[in-house]
Amino acid sequence: MTLAVASSVTNGLARLAEPWAHLYADSKTVATIVTFGHVASLLMAGGLAVATDRATLRALRLAAAERGRHLEELAGVHRLVVGGLSLSVITGVLLFASDVETFVGSWIFWLKMALICVLLANGFIMTRAEGALRADAGENAPSWTRLRRSALVSVGLWYAITLAGVALVNVA
Ligand code: HEM
C-alpha cells in the first residue's frame, strides 16, 4: 500500500469517525463508559484466562488420571474469554475511532494488534490440544506439553497486551 493510499484511507476513516471523536472528546461520561468497558473486558477475559492458565499448570503436576476434571473446566472457560475479548474489540474500535490519526500512526497500536492476533492463534492451539486430550489423555500424550506451553504463552501475552494498552494511553 503506497503512502498516498494509506494517508487517504486514514483521512477517510478520520472523517467517518469525526462525529464520534467530537462526542468522545466533549463528554467525560462517554469517555469513562467506553474506557471502563475496555478495562472491564480485560478484567473478565484476561482475569479468567490467567487464572485458568495457572490452574492448567497446577493440574499438569497431578497424575494424568486426575487431570480430567480440569479439562472439562477449561472447555467451559473459553466461551467466557471469547465473550470478554469481543467486548474488548468493540470498545477498542470505539477508542481507536476517538483519535484515528494518532492510533494509525502509532507503532505501539500495531504491535498490540499483532499481539492480539498471536493470542487468538495461541487460544486455537490450546483448544486443539484439549480436543486431542479428550481422545487420548494418557500420561505420555504429547498434547499435555502443548497445553502447558500454550498456557505459559497465554499468561505472557495477556500481560504484554495490557502493557501495550497502557503505553498507548501514555506514549502514543
Ligand atoms: C486482549 C485484548 C485487549 C486488552 C487486554 C487491552 C488493554 C488495554 C488497556 C489496559 C488500555 C489502557 C486503558 C486506560 O488506561 O485508559 C487500552 C487502551 C487502548 N486500547 Fe486496548 N486492549 C485490548 C484490545 C484492544 C483492541 C482489539 C483495540 C482496537 C481495535 C484496542 C484499542 C485500544 C486503544 C485505542 C487504547 C487507547 C485508549 C486511549 O488512549 O484512551 N484494544 N487497552
Contact 59, 67 (CB under 8 A): yes
User: Is 39 a pocket residue for ligand 1 (Cβ < 6 Å)?
Assistant: yes
Give yes or no for residue 1 having a pLDDT over 70: no
Answer yes or no: are the C-beta atoms of 161 and 116 closer than 8 Å: yes
Supply the pTM of this predicted model: 0.91
Count of domains in the chain? 1
List the domain range (segments joined by +) for residue 37.
3-170
Of 170, 160, 164, the closest CA to residue 50 belongs to: 160
Note the pLDDT tens digit of each residue in 77-106.
999 999 999 999 999 999 999 999 999 999
pLDDT reported for residue 140? 83
- Grid coordinates representing 167 are 503505553
Q: For ligand 1, atom 43, which residue shows the shortest CA distance?
A: 165
Question: For ligand 1, is residue 82 a contact (CB within 6 Å)?
Answer: no
DSSP of 93-120: HHHHHTSHHHHHT-HHHHHHHHHHHHHH
| pLDDT band at residue 2 using 50, 70 and 90 as cut-offs | confident
| pLDDT score for 68 | 83
Asked whether 92 lines ligand 1 (CB < 6 A), one says yes
Burial tier of 58 (Cβ tally within 10 Å: 0-12, 13-18, 19+): exposed
CA pair distance 92, 39, nearest whole angstrom: 10
Atom of ligand 1 nearest to the CA of 116: 1
SS3 of 40, please? helix
The residue whose CA is least distant from atom 19 of ligand 1 is: 165
**Is residue 106 in contact with ligand 1, taking CB distance under 6 Å?**
no
Contacts of 60 (CB under 8 A, 6+ apart): 67, 144, 147, 148
pLDDT in tens, 25-83: 999 999 999 999 999 999 999 999 999 999 999 988 888 778 888 888 888 899 999 99
* pLDDT tens readout for residues 138-162: 888 889 999 999 999 999 999 999 9
Q: Cβ(162)–Cβ(103) under 8 Å?
A: no
Asked if residue 114 has its Cβ within 6 Å of ligand 1, the reply is: no
